[in-house]
Structure 1
Protein backbone atom coordinates (compact mmCIF):
# COMPACT_ATOMS: atom_id res chain seq x y z
CA UNK A 1 0.00 0.00 0.00
CA UNK A 2 1.31 3.46 -0.97
CA UNK A 3 1.12 5.85 1.96
CA UNK A 4 0.62 9.48 1.03
CA UNK A 5 2.67 11.90 3.08
CA UNK A 6 0.53 14.28 5.10
CA UNK A 7 1.04 17.91 6.06
CA UNK A 8 -0.75 19.85 8.80
CA UNK A 9 -1.97 23.08 7.22
CA UNK A 10 -1.58 26.13 9.45
CA UNK A 11 -5.26 27.05 9.13
CA UNK A 12 -6.30 23.69 10.63
CA UNK A 13 -4.87 24.88 13.96
CA UNK A 14 -5.51 28.54 13.28
CA UNK A 15 -4.94 29.64 16.89
CA UNK A 16 -1.67 27.74 17.34
CA UNK A 17 1.70 29.43 17.35
CA UNK A 18 4.28 28.15 14.86
CA UNK A 19 6.01 26.09 17.56
CA UNK A 20 2.69 24.69 18.78
CA UNK A 21 1.82 23.80 15.19
CA UNK A 22 5.16 22.05 14.63
CA UNK A 23 4.85 20.15 17.91
CA UNK A 24 1.27 19.08 17.18
CA UNK A 25 2.28 17.88 13.71
CA UNK A 26 5.05 15.76 15.23
CA UNK A 27 2.94 14.36 18.07
CA UNK A 28 0.13 13.28 15.74
CA UNK A 29 2.30 11.71 13.04
CA UNK A 30 2.28 14.28 10.25
CA UNK A 31 5.27 14.33 7.90
CA UNK A 32 5.09 18.09 7.31
CA UNK A 33 3.42 21.31 8.37
CA UNK A 34 2.85 24.68 6.70
CA UNK A 35 3.42 28.24 7.90
CA UNK A 36 2.25 31.77 7.27
CA UNK A 37 5.33 33.89 6.76
CA UNK A 38 4.00 36.77 8.87
CA UNK A 39 4.13 34.48 11.91
CA UNK A 40 7.86 33.82 11.66
CA UNK A 41 9.75 36.11 9.32
CA UNK A 42 10.89 38.77 11.82
CA UNK A 43 11.59 36.46 14.77
CA UNK A 44 15.14 35.11 14.62
CA UNK A 45 14.80 33.15 17.87
CA UNK A 46 11.64 31.47 16.64
CA UNK A 47 13.29 30.53 13.35
CA UNK A 48 16.14 28.90 15.26
CA UNK A 49 13.64 26.99 17.42
CA UNK A 50 11.78 25.74 14.34
CA UNK A 51 15.07 24.60 12.82
CA UNK A 52 15.85 22.72 16.01
CA UNK A 53 12.41 21.07 15.94
CA UNK A 54 13.02 19.86 12.40
CA UNK A 55 16.39 18.36 13.28
CA UNK A 56 15.00 16.73 16.42
CA UNK A 57 11.74 15.33 15.01
CA UNK A 58 12.21 14.97 11.25
CA UNK A 59 8.92 16.80 10.65
CA UNK A 60 9.66 19.25 7.84
CA UNK A 61 8.14 22.46 6.56
CA UNK A 62 6.15 21.73 3.38
CA UNK A 63 5.15 25.21 2.28
CA UNK A 64 5.16 28.83 3.31
CA UNK A 65 2.53 31.46 2.60
CA UNK A 66 4.33 34.80 2.20
CA UNK A 67 1.30 36.84 1.16
CA UNK A 68 -1.48 37.10 -1.37
CA UNK A 69 -1.00 38.94 -4.66
CA UNK A 70 -2.87 42.22 -4.26
CA UNK A 71 -2.92 45.46 -6.21
CA UNK A 72 -0.23 47.02 -4.01
CA UNK A 73 1.94 43.91 -3.60
CA UNK A 74 5.68 44.52 -3.83
CA UNK A 75 7.42 41.19 -4.38
CA UNK A 76 10.58 42.62 -2.85
CA UNK A 77 8.74 42.77 0.48
CA UNK A 78 8.22 38.99 0.29
CA UNK A 79 11.89 38.08 -0.16
CA UNK A 80 12.59 37.71 3.59
CA UNK A 81 9.73 35.19 3.79
CA UNK A 82 11.15 33.19 0.90
CA UNK A 83 14.55 33.18 2.58
CA UNK A 84 13.06 31.91 5.84
CA UNK A 85 11.08 29.25 3.99
CA UNK A 86 14.22 28.05 2.27
CA UNK A 87 16.15 28.05 5.54
CA UNK A 88 13.45 25.89 7.15
CA UNK A 89 13.44 23.46 4.23
CA UNK A 90 10.23 24.41 2.41
CA UNK A 91 10.05 23.49 -1.26
CA UNK A 92 6.79 25.26 -2.03
CA UNK A 93 5.38 28.78 -1.86
CA UNK A 94 1.61 29.24 -1.66
CA UNK A 95 -0.13 32.34 -2.97
CA UNK A 96 -3.58 33.58 -3.97
CA UNK A 97 -4.60 36.07 -6.66
CA UNK A 98 -6.49 39.00 -5.14
CA UNK A 99 -5.79 41.64 -7.81
CA UNK A 100 -8.55 42.37 -10.37
CA UNK A 101 -5.96 43.70 -12.81
CA UNK A 102 -5.03 40.42 -14.45
CA UNK A 103 -2.00 41.75 -16.29
CA UNK A 104 -0.50 43.22 -13.11
CA UNK A 105 -1.32 40.07 -11.18
CA UNK A 106 0.39 37.92 -13.80
CA UNK A 107 3.44 40.18 -13.73
CA UNK A 108 3.65 39.92 -9.94
CA UNK A 109 3.20 36.17 -10.06
CA UNK A 110 6.00 35.96 -12.61
CA UNK A 111 8.35 38.00 -10.39
CA UNK A 112 7.41 35.89 -7.37
CA UNK A 113 8.26 32.73 -9.31
CA UNK A 114 11.60 34.17 -10.37
CA UNK A 115 12.39 35.10 -6.76
CA UNK A 116 11.33 31.67 -5.45
CA UNK A 117 13.48 29.94 -8.04
CA UNK A 118 16.58 31.44 -6.40
CA UNK A 119 15.58 29.52 -3.27
CA UNK A 120 14.79 26.30 -5.13
CA UNK A 121 11.04 26.59 -4.48
CA UNK A 122 7.99 26.27 -6.69
CA UNK A 123 5.04 28.66 -6.44
CA UNK A 124 1.52 27.24 -6.24
CA UNK A 125 -1.32 29.57 -7.24
CA UNK A 126 -4.45 28.60 -5.32
CA UNK A 127 -7.82 29.59 -6.83
CA UNK A 128 -10.38 30.76 -4.25
CA UNK A 129 -13.94 31.41 -5.37
CA UNK A 130 -14.27 34.76 -3.62
CA UNK A 131 -10.94 36.10 -4.98
CA UNK A 132 -9.90 37.47 -8.37
CA UNK A 133 -8.39 34.10 -9.30
CA UNK A 134 -11.42 31.99 -8.50
CA UNK A 135 -11.32 28.89 -10.67
CA UNK A 136 -8.71 26.36 -11.80
CA UNK A 137 -9.01 27.79 -15.30
CA UNK A 138 -8.20 31.28 -14.00
CA UNK A 139 -5.19 29.95 -12.13
CA UNK A 140 -3.92 27.91 -15.06
CA UNK A 141 -4.17 30.93 -17.37
CA UNK A 142 -1.94 32.84 -14.96
CA UNK A 143 0.46 29.94 -14.51
CA UNK A 144 0.89 29.54 -18.26
CA UNK A 145 0.90 33.30 -18.80
CA UNK A 146 3.83 33.68 -16.42
CA UNK A 147 6.03 31.39 -18.53
CA UNK A 148 7.88 30.34 -15.38
CA UNK A 149 9.14 26.75 -15.08
CA UNK A 150 8.46 26.68 -11.32
CA UNK A 151 4.86 27.95 -11.59
CA UNK A 152 2.30 25.48 -10.29
CA UNK A 153 -1.43 25.05 -9.63
CA UNK A 154 -2.43 24.40 -6.02
CA UNK A 155 -5.77 22.65 -5.67
CA UNK A 156 -7.78 23.16 -2.50
CA UNK A 157 -10.48 20.47 -2.56
CA UNK A 158 -13.12 22.79 -1.10
CA UNK A 159 -12.43 25.67 -3.47
CA UNK A 160 -12.07 23.30 -6.43
CA UNK A 161 -15.59 21.95 -6.06
CA UNK A 162 -17.10 25.27 -4.96
CA UNK A 163 -15.82 26.76 -8.24
CA UNK A 164 -17.99 24.32 -10.20
CA UNK A 165 -15.05 22.18 -11.35
CA UNK A 166 -15.43 18.41 -11.65
CA UNK A 167 -13.06 15.56 -10.86
CA UNK A 168 -12.65 14.69 -14.54
CA UNK A 169 -11.27 18.19 -15.15
CA UNK A 170 -8.10 17.13 -13.31
CA UNK A 171 -7.27 14.65 -16.07
CA UNK A 172 -6.97 17.58 -18.49
CA UNK A 173 -4.36 19.36 -16.35
CA UNK A 174 -0.67 18.70 -16.92
CA UNK A 175 0.15 16.50 -13.90
CA UNK A 176 3.54 18.18 -13.53
CA UNK A 177 1.71 21.35 -12.47
CA UNK A 178 0.15 19.68 -9.41
CA UNK A 179 2.78 18.84 -6.79
CA UNK A 180 0.50 18.53 -3.77
CA UNK A 181 -3.09 19.39 -2.85
CA UNK A 182 -5.03 20.69 0.13
CA UNK A 183 -7.60 18.18 1.36
CA UNK A 184 -10.79 18.61 3.39
CA UNK A 185 -14.45 17.65 3.10
CA UNK A 186 -17.72 19.60 3.03
CA UNK A 187 -21.40 19.34 2.27
CA UNK A 188 -22.14 19.01 -1.42
CA UNK A 189 -24.29 22.13 -1.53
CA UNK A 190 -22.33 25.37 -1.51
CA UNK A 191 -23.25 28.31 0.73
CA UNK A 192 -25.23 30.75 -1.38
CA UNK A 193 -23.34 33.93 -0.51
CA UNK A 194 -19.71 34.98 -0.83
CA UNK A 195 -19.60 35.61 2.91
CA UNK A 196 -21.03 32.15 3.52
CA UNK A 197 -18.28 30.56 1.41
CA UNK A 198 -15.64 32.59 3.20
CA UNK A 199 -16.97 31.51 6.60
CA UNK A 200 -17.12 27.87 5.48
CA UNK A 201 -13.54 27.98 4.25
CA UNK A 202 -12.13 29.44 7.46
CA UNK A 203 -14.23 27.85 10.22
CA UNK A 204 -16.62 25.17 8.94
CA UNK A 205 -14.74 22.62 6.84
CA UNK A 206 -15.27 18.94 7.53
CA UNK A 207 -12.65 16.26 8.07
CA UNK A 208 -11.98 13.91 5.13
CA UNK A 209 -14.78 11.37 4.88
CA UNK A 210 -17.20 13.35 7.06
CA UNK A 211 -18.82 15.22 4.16
CA UNK A 212 -20.14 14.69 0.67
CA UNK A 213 -17.41 15.90 -1.69
CA UNK A 214 -16.20 13.27 -4.21
CA UNK A 215 -12.75 13.17 -2.67
CA UNK A 216 -11.99 9.56 -3.56
CA UNK A 217 -12.77 10.27 -7.20
CA UNK A 218 -10.50 13.32 -7.03
CA UNK A 219 -7.63 11.36 -5.51
CA UNK A 220 -8.05 8.67 -8.18
CA UNK A 221 -7.09 11.31 -10.77
CA UNK A 222 -3.84 12.15 -8.98
CA UNK A 223 -0.57 10.38 -8.27
CA UNK A 224 -1.01 7.81 -5.54
CA UNK A 225 2.03 9.16 -3.68
CA UNK A 226 0.95 12.80 -3.76
CA UNK A 227 1.46 14.75 -0.55
CA UNK A 228 -1.81 15.92 1.03
CA UNK A 229 -1.94 19.11 3.08
CA UNK A 230 -4.86 18.62 5.46
CA UNK A 231 -6.70 21.93 5.73
CA UNK A 232 -9.71 21.42 7.99
CA UNK A 233 -10.39 24.47 10.17
CA UNK A 234 -13.59 23.71 12.06
CA UNK A 235 -15.22 25.17 15.12
CA UNK A 236 -16.14 21.60 16.11
CA UNK A 237 -12.56 21.03 17.31
CA UNK A 238 -11.61 24.56 18.30
CA UNK A 239 -10.85 24.86 21.99
CA UNK A 240 -9.36 21.40 22.35
CA UNK A 241 -5.61 21.20 23.05
CA UNK A 242 -3.72 21.61 19.79
CA UNK A 243 -2.19 18.15 20.01
CA UNK A 244 -5.64 16.62 20.48
CA UNK A 245 -7.04 18.54 17.51
CA UNK A 246 -4.17 17.33 15.33
CA UNK A 247 -4.57 13.75 16.59
CA UNK A 248 -8.26 13.69 15.66
CA UNK A 249 -7.54 15.18 12.23
CA UNK A 250 -4.84 12.60 11.58
CA UNK A 251 -6.98 9.70 12.81
CA UNK A 252 -9.92 10.65 10.58
CA UNK A 253 -7.67 11.29 7.60
CA UNK A 254 -5.93 7.94 7.90
CA UNK A 255 -9.29 6.19 8.23
CA UNK A 256 -10.53 7.95 5.10
CA UNK A 257 -7.39 7.03 3.18
CA UNK A 258 -7.41 3.45 4.43
CA UNK A 259 -4.00 3.77 6.07
Structure 2
Protein backbone atom coordinates (compact mmCIF):
# COMPACT_ATOMS: atom_id res chain seq x y z
CA UNK A 1 0.00 0.00 0.00
CA UNK A 2 1.36 3.43 -0.89
CA UNK A 3 2.58 5.75 1.82
CA UNK A 4 0.10 8.44 2.81
CA UNK A 5 1.43 11.98 2.48
CA UNK A 6 -0.22 15.37 2.73
CA UNK A 7 -1.25 17.24 -0.40
CA UNK A 8 1.48 19.82 0.26
CA UNK A 9 4.23 17.24 0.76
CA UNK A 10 7.17 17.85 -1.59
CA UNK A 11 7.86 15.37 -4.38
CA UNK A 12 11.18 13.81 -3.40
CA UNK A 13 12.98 10.87 -4.96
CA UNK A 14 15.68 8.61 -3.61
CA UNK A 15 18.69 7.14 -5.39
CA UNK A 16 19.22 3.38 -5.35
CA UNK A 17 22.73 3.92 -3.94
CA UNK A 18 21.02 4.94 -0.69
CA UNK A 19 20.13 1.27 -0.11
CA UNK A 20 21.80 -0.49 -3.00
CA UNK A 21 21.57 -3.99 -1.51
CA UNK A 22 17.77 -3.90 -1.83
CA UNK A 23 16.67 -5.34 -5.19
CA UNK A 24 14.48 -3.00 -7.26
CA UNK A 25 11.13 -4.41 -6.12
CA UNK A 26 12.05 -4.28 -2.43
CA UNK A 27 13.66 -0.87 -2.85
CA UNK A 28 10.49 0.51 -4.43
CA UNK A 29 8.38 -0.79 -1.55
CA UNK A 30 10.73 0.54 1.13
CA UNK A 31 11.02 3.93 -0.57
CA UNK A 32 7.23 4.26 -0.78
CA UNK A 33 6.84 3.41 2.91
CA UNK A 34 9.41 6.08 3.75
CA UNK A 35 7.40 8.73 1.86
CA UNK A 36 9.33 9.00 -1.40
CA UNK A 37 7.40 9.55 -4.63
CA UNK A 38 10.20 8.64 -7.04
CA UNK A 39 13.13 6.27 -7.12
CA UNK A 40 16.31 5.92 -9.08
CA UNK A 41 17.65 2.48 -9.98
CA UNK A 42 21.10 1.10 -10.72
CA UNK A 43 20.81 -0.94 -13.91
CA UNK A 44 24.48 -0.55 -14.84
CA UNK A 45 27.62 -0.75 -12.65
CA UNK A 46 28.96 2.64 -11.58
CA UNK A 47 32.47 1.20 -11.35
CA UNK A 48 34.01 -2.28 -11.71
CA UNK A 49 32.53 -4.62 -9.11
CA UNK A 50 29.77 -2.23 -8.07
CA UNK A 51 26.35 -3.80 -7.45
CA UNK A 52 23.61 -3.30 -10.01
CA UNK A 53 20.46 -5.05 -11.23
CA UNK A 54 19.24 -6.19 -14.62
CA UNK A 55 15.60 -5.79 -15.64
CA UNK A 56 15.29 -7.20 -19.17
CA UNK A 57 12.27 -6.03 -21.15
CA UNK A 58 9.54 -8.64 -20.88
CA UNK A 59 11.15 -10.34 -17.90
CA UNK A 60 9.23 -11.38 -14.80
CA UNK A 61 11.15 -9.04 -12.49
CA UNK A 62 10.43 -6.02 -14.67
CA UNK A 63 6.76 -7.01 -14.74
CA UNK A 64 6.65 -7.38 -10.98
CA UNK A 65 8.37 -4.03 -10.51
CA UNK A 66 5.87 -2.23 -12.74
CA UNK A 67 3.03 -3.76 -10.77
CA UNK A 68 4.58 -2.67 -7.46
CA UNK A 69 5.24 0.85 -8.75
CA UNK A 70 1.61 1.21 -9.79
CA UNK A 71 0.36 -0.15 -6.49
CA UNK A 72 2.64 2.01 -4.36
CA UNK A 73 2.15 5.20 -6.35
CA UNK A 74 5.88 5.50 -7.03
CA UNK A 75 7.63 6.19 -10.33
CA UNK A 76 11.12 5.49 -11.60
CA UNK A 77 12.77 8.79 -12.42
CA UNK A 78 16.39 8.06 -13.28
CA UNK A 79 18.69 5.17 -14.12
CA UNK A 80 22.36 5.00 -13.12
CA UNK A 81 25.20 4.84 -13.96
CA UNK A 82 27.24 5.16 -17.14
CA UNK A 83 30.87 6.26 -17.37
CA UNK A 84 31.80 7.81 -20.71
CA UNK A 85 35.46 6.82 -20.88
CA UNK A 86 37.75 6.25 -23.90
CA UNK A 87 36.28 2.77 -24.49
CA UNK A 88 32.65 3.90 -24.31
CA UNK A 89 30.26 2.59 -26.96
CA UNK A 90 26.71 3.90 -26.74
CA UNK A 91 25.31 1.15 -28.97
CA UNK A 92 26.33 -1.51 -26.44
CA UNK A 93 23.91 0.02 -23.92
CA UNK A 94 20.74 -0.22 -25.98
CA UNK A 95 19.32 -3.15 -23.99
CA UNK A 96 19.78 -1.19 -20.75
CA UNK A 97 18.24 1.94 -22.24
CA UNK A 98 15.30 -0.11 -23.48
CA UNK A 99 14.90 -1.65 -20.02
CA UNK A 100 14.93 1.83 -18.48
CA UNK A 101 12.19 3.02 -20.82
CA UNK A 102 10.17 -0.14 -20.20
CA UNK A 103 9.84 0.61 -16.47
CA UNK A 104 8.92 4.24 -17.10
CA UNK A 105 12.23 5.95 -16.34
CA UNK A 106 12.73 9.48 -17.62
CA UNK A 107 16.46 10.12 -17.41
CA UNK A 108 19.86 8.43 -17.41
CA UNK A 109 22.85 9.59 -15.34
CA UNK A 110 26.40 9.65 -16.68
CA UNK A 111 29.82 11.05 -15.92
CA UNK A 112 32.52 12.11 -18.36
CA UNK A 113 35.94 10.53 -17.99
CA UNK A 114 37.69 10.82 -21.34
CA UNK A 115 40.55 13.33 -21.73
CA UNK A 116 39.90 13.50 -25.46
CA UNK A 117 37.21 16.18 -25.41
CA UNK A 118 36.16 15.69 -29.01
CA UNK A 119 35.58 11.98 -28.45
CA UNK A 120 33.86 12.64 -25.12
CA UNK A 121 31.41 15.05 -26.74
CA UNK A 122 30.80 12.65 -29.63
CA UNK A 123 30.14 9.66 -27.39
CA UNK A 124 27.89 11.67 -25.10
CA UNK A 125 25.92 12.90 -28.10
CA UNK A 126 25.63 9.31 -29.34
CA UNK A 127 24.12 8.24 -26.02
CA UNK A 128 21.74 11.19 -26.12
CA UNK A 129 20.55 10.19 -29.59
CA UNK A 130 20.09 6.56 -28.53
CA UNK A 131 18.21 7.60 -25.39
CA UNK A 132 16.04 10.05 -27.30
CA UNK A 133 14.72 7.20 -29.44
CA UNK A 134 13.37 5.68 -26.23
CA UNK A 135 12.00 8.93 -24.83
CA UNK A 136 14.78 9.37 -22.26
CA UNK A 137 17.01 12.30 -21.38
CA UNK A 138 20.65 12.12 -20.21
CA UNK A 139 22.23 14.06 -17.33
CA UNK A 140 25.95 14.63 -16.76
CA UNK A 141 27.13 14.52 -13.14
CA UNK A 142 30.47 16.14 -12.35
CA UNK A 143 32.89 14.33 -10.01
CA UNK A 144 36.18 15.61 -8.67
CA UNK A 145 38.23 12.61 -9.73
CA UNK A 146 36.81 12.47 -13.26
CA UNK A 147 37.68 14.49 -16.36
CA UNK A 148 34.29 16.21 -16.12
CA UNK A 149 35.25 17.53 -12.70
CA UNK A 150 33.17 20.65 -12.10
CA UNK A 151 29.61 21.82 -12.66
CA UNK A 152 30.99 24.16 -15.30
CA UNK A 153 32.54 21.13 -17.05
CA UNK A 154 29.17 19.37 -17.04
CA UNK A 155 27.36 22.34 -18.52
CA UNK A 156 30.08 22.77 -21.15
CA UNK A 157 29.69 19.13 -22.20
CA UNK A 158 25.92 19.49 -22.42
CA UNK A 159 26.21 22.61 -24.55
CA UNK A 160 28.88 21.08 -26.82
CA UNK A 161 26.71 18.02 -27.48
CA UNK A 162 23.91 20.16 -28.88
CA UNK A 163 21.53 17.41 -27.78
CA UNK A 164 17.98 18.47 -27.03
CA UNK A 165 17.67 15.84 -24.27
CA UNK A 166 20.95 16.60 -22.46
CA UNK A 167 21.16 18.10 -18.99
CA UNK A 168 23.43 18.58 -15.99
CA UNK A 169 22.88 16.71 -12.73
CA UNK A 170 23.72 18.60 -9.54
CA UNK A 171 24.79 16.33 -6.68
CA UNK A 172 25.36 18.16 -3.40
CA UNK A 173 28.77 16.76 -2.57
CA UNK A 174 30.18 16.89 -6.10
CA UNK A 175 28.73 20.31 -6.84
CA UNK A 176 29.93 22.20 -3.76
CA UNK A 177 33.18 20.29 -3.18
CA UNK A 178 34.32 21.11 -6.73
CA UNK A 179 33.72 24.83 -6.84
CA UNK A 180 30.01 25.07 -7.56
CA UNK A 181 28.19 28.08 -6.13
CA UNK A 182 24.57 29.09 -5.88
CA UNK A 183 25.35 31.99 -8.20
CA UNK A 184 26.75 29.65 -10.87
CA UNK A 185 23.73 27.40 -10.45
CA UNK A 186 21.31 30.27 -10.97
CA UNK A 187 23.20 31.34 -14.09
CA UNK A 188 23.02 27.87 -15.67
CA UNK A 189 19.78 26.63 -14.13
CA UNK A 190 18.14 26.12 -17.52
CA UNK A 191 20.44 23.12 -18.08
CA UNK A 192 19.65 21.43 -14.74
CA UNK A 193 16.79 18.94 -14.52
CA UNK A 194 17.83 16.79 -11.56
CA UNK A 195 19.35 17.65 -8.17
CA UNK A 196 20.52 15.07 -5.62
CA UNK A 197 20.63 16.12 -1.97
CA UNK A 198 23.24 14.92 0.51
CA UNK A 199 25.48 16.58 3.07
CA UNK A 200 29.11 16.56 4.15
CA UNK A 201 31.22 18.26 6.80
CA UNK A 202 34.83 19.17 7.39
CA UNK A 203 37.64 20.08 5.00
CA UNK A 204 37.17 19.13 1.38
CA UNK A 205 39.14 16.04 0.31
CA UNK A 206 42.14 16.68 -1.92
CA UNK A 207 43.24 13.43 -3.52
CA UNK A 208 41.08 11.31 -5.83
CA UNK A 209 41.12 8.51 -3.26
CA UNK A 210 39.82 10.85 -0.56
CA UNK A 211 37.14 12.21 -2.87
CA UNK A 212 35.94 8.72 -3.72
CA UNK A 213 35.88 7.72 -0.05
CA UNK A 214 33.76 10.72 0.87
CA UNK A 215 31.36 10.29 -2.05
CA UNK A 216 30.79 6.61 -1.42
CA UNK A 217 31.01 6.42 2.36
CA UNK A 218 31.19 9.89 3.91
CA UNK A 219 27.83 11.46 3.10
CA UNK A 220 25.32 12.61 5.71
CA UNK A 221 21.57 12.99 5.50
CA UNK A 222 20.47 16.42 4.25
CA UNK A 223 20.86 19.04 6.97
CA UNK A 224 23.33 17.03 9.05
CA UNK A 225 26.43 18.60 7.55
CA UNK A 226 27.64 21.99 6.40
CA UNK A 227 26.34 22.40 2.84
CA UNK A 228 23.84 25.23 2.13
CA UNK A 229 21.10 22.83 1.13
CA UNK A 230 18.15 25.01 2.14
CA UNK A 231 19.50 27.72 -0.11
CA UNK A 232 20.06 25.14 -2.85
CA UNK A 233 16.47 23.93 -2.64
CA UNK A 234 15.22 27.53 -2.68
CA UNK A 235 17.35 28.29 -5.76
CA UNK A 236 15.99 25.26 -7.60
CA UNK A 237 12.36 26.06 -6.96
CA UNK A 238 10.28 23.95 -9.32
CA UNK A 239 12.87 23.92 -12.12
CA UNK A 240 14.31 20.47 -11.42
CA UNK A 241 13.41 17.15 -9.83
CA UNK A 242 14.90 16.54 -6.39
CA UNK A 243 16.12 13.29 -4.91
CA UNK A 244 18.35 12.13 -2.05
CA UNK A 245 21.51 10.07 -2.34
CA UNK A 246 23.15 8.97 0.91
CA UNK A 247 24.51 5.40 1.12
CA UNK A 248 23.51 3.35 4.14
CA UNK A 249 26.30 3.16 6.73
CA UNK A 250 26.31 1.66 10.20
CA UNK A 251 23.70 -0.71 11.56
CA UNK A 252 20.41 0.96 10.68
CA UNK A 253 17.94 -1.07 8.66
CA UNK A 254 17.34 0.05 5.08
CA UNK A 255 13.78 0.99 6.00
CA UNK A 256 14.87 3.16 8.95
CA UNK A 257 17.61 4.75 6.87
CA UNK A 258 15.24 5.67 4.04
CA UNK A 259 12.67 7.12 6.44
CA UNK A 260 15.38 9.21 8.08
CA UNK A 261 16.52 10.50 4.68
CA UNK A 262 12.99 11.44 3.69
CA UNK A 263 12.31 13.26 6.95
CA UNK A 264 15.57 15.21 6.77
CA UNK A 265 15.05 16.14 3.12
CA UNK A 266 11.46 17.21 3.70
CA UNK A 267 12.69 19.54 6.42
CA UNK A 268 14.60 21.59 3.84
CA UNK A 269 11.44 22.70 2.07
CA UNK A 270 9.43 25.73 2.99
CA UNK A 271 5.75 25.42 3.95
CA UNK A 272 4.61 26.44 0.48
CA UNK A 273 6.57 23.82 -1.43
Q: Aligned residue for 2:4?
A: none
CA distance in 2, matches of 1:225, 1:28: 24
Q: Aligned residue for 1:204?
A: 218
Equivalent in 58, 61, 64 of residue 46 of structure 1: 61
Q: Deviations over 1:153-201 (max 9, x none)?
A: 111111001111211111210x331112011111152123221111111
Equivalent in 71, 77, 80 of residue 95 of structure 2: 80
CA contact (8 A) 1:126 1:155 kept: yes
Q: Aligned residue for 1:32?
A: 38
**Which stretches in structure 1 are left out of the alignment for 5+ residues?**
none
Q: How does 1:1-259 map to 2 (within 5 A)?
A: 3-38=9-44, 39-42=53-56, 44-173=59-188, 175-224=189-238, 226-236=240-250, 239-258=251-270
CA contact (8 A) 1:125 1:153 kept: yes
The CA deviation at 1:80 is: 0.9
Q: Deviations over 1:189-220 (max 9, x none)?
A: 21232211111111110111101111122222
Q: Deviations over 1:24-71 (max 9, x none)?
A: 111111001111113124482211111111121120101012521111
CA distance in 2, matches of 1:115, 1:223: 30
How many pairs align? Answer: 256
**TM-score, normalised relative to structure 2:** 0.88
CA contact (8 A) 2:84 2:114 kept: yes
CA distance in 2, matches of 1:223, 1:168: 14
The CA deviation at 1:74 is: 1.1
CA contact (8 A) 2:10 2:266 kept: no
CA distance in 1, matches of 2:146, 2:81: 17
